Amino acid sequence: MTSQFSIRKLHSDDWALLKELRLESLRLHPNFFYPSKDETKFTEEEWRGRVSNAYSASFGLFDSSQMIGLTAVVREGADPQSSRAHFVSSYLREAYRRRGLSKLFFEARLQWAREQKNIRTIILEHRDDNEASKRAQAKYNFKLISALDFTWPDGQVRPSLLYEMEI
């Protein structure tokens, strides 16, 4: 089923690919994505820095040579020594959804986290009505630890569900 698809860690030279899909996700889905900064104003240097730092990994999902999805894992507090990491920014273009491709996102991020040797806990968070995220994380050993109301970029106040998984 996924033989034409590949996932790989993005590098500094992939900054424009990351920028394109990240801004697309923010524009098309303000109900699910919450930027920590105004990413529309990022410079090339800031995008390059996002994919080449020591405390995170961004992954691109490709259909042949076209990037169709992205995801990332970030050490908590942007601390290279943190034993906790967050799965963030998963986005898949609509034409590719409901094909089981989120498994590739989870496997790539888990592999990266395990390679770091000292990451012990994975954190995942999503809006309560994000059914795709609910289905994807349910296939792994995540445990719901909290649900807090949050004002999302689309103006709605809805719970954000926070999960943990020990690795």
Contact 138, 37 (CB under 8 A): no
**22: pLDDT strictly greater than 50:** yes
Mean pLDDT of all residues in 72-96: 92
Q: What is the pLDDT of residue 3?
A: 53
pLDDT, one tens digit per residue, over 103-112 is 999 999 999 9
Domains and CATH numbers, the chain: 5-166 (3.40.630.30)
Q: What is the pLDDT of residue 137?
A: 86
Q: How far apart are CA 83 and CA 126, in angstroms?
A: 21
Close Cβ partners of 137 (under 8 Å, ≥ 6 residues apart): 124, 126, 163
What percent of the chain clears pLDDT 70, i.e. is strictly above it? 98
Q: Let me know the angle formed at the C-alpha of 139 by 137 and 140, rounded to the nearest 5 degrees.
A: 70
Long-range pairs of 63-68 with CB within 8 A, sequence gap ≥ 24: 63/4, 63/5, 63/96, 64/4, 67/17, 67/20, 67/21, 68/5, 68/92, 68/93, 68/95, 68/96
